[in-house]
Structure 1
Amino acid sequence: MRVLVVEPEQRPKEKEIDDSLTAMQNIVGGYIQPVHLDDSVVLVCNEEGKFMDMPANRGLRDKDGQLCDIVFGTFFLCGFPADCDHFISLTPEQIQQYQERFYTPEMFWGMDGHIVCLPLEVD
């Protein structure tokens, strides 16, 4: 299955993985949690990443671009069409779309009761 893996402080990378639960858990470092990004793509992260002291990775934003959540630890993106009951490979168009969306690593910290998110420069 062709996925896009996003590690903290790194640019997204295409990867071919088995479509097994074990392979998915190995990427995220534990139990998986799917988060639907649109009708056919899910972000798969560690279900307990926020509570396991995993590093903050990327922010998730609402339709207005406002930060609404933060994903902790490594995650991957894969296909999940409405008429399907399992994860599938991303299309080349989806890979390009989500490489652009998650291209820039981010850093987060609290300031005056708010979470501040800034881009992180990497090579």
Structure 2
Amino acid sequence: MGLKILVVKPGKRPEVATIDGSLESMQKVVGGYIEEIIIEKDIVLICNEEGRLSGLQPNRLVGGNMIVGTFFLANDNRFGENYGSLTDEQINRMMKRFG
């Protein structure tokens, strides 16, 4: 069973995707090392840790900070080691926020 996430590319509408949840699959989505930013009590934003240094394209303003490059959103599953799949409610909420 995969990890249901919302992928947000610069200049595009967010898209629902499924990855296997491995570090490699997350790095593939963002194009490099990952950095996590908690944006809501139950949602984490995963972006490219070196995006600014690499000159990635500006994407979205989040909490007063410009996130660059492709990022994705996942359920902040703090009861386990890994992130969880987004619920339909979370997807709808984040589509409105980032769409």
The TM-score bracket by the shorter chain reads over 0.9
After TM superposition, what 4+ stretches of structure 1 lie above 6 angstroms from structure 2?
Answer: none
Mapping 1:5-44, distance limit 5 Å: 5-44=7-46
Q: Secondary structure at the match of 1:25?
A: helix
Mapping 1:22-101, distance limit 5 Å: 22-61=24-63, 68-101=64-97
* TM-score normalised by the chain length of structure 1: 0.76
Which AA in structure 2 matches 1:95? I
Which AA in structure 2 matches 1:59? L
CA root-mean-square deviation: 0.8
Contact 1:39 1:82 in 2 (8 A): no
- Whichever structure has more helix as a proportion of its residues is 2
Q: CA deviation at 1:23?
A: 0.6
What number of residue pairs does the alignment pair up?
Answer: 97
Contact 1:39 1:81 in 2 (8 A): no
% identical equivalent positions = 40
Rg larger for: 1
Structure 2, gaps ≥5 residues long: none
**Distance in 1 between the 2:13 and 2:61 partners?**
14
Q: CA deviation at 1:38?
A: 1.4
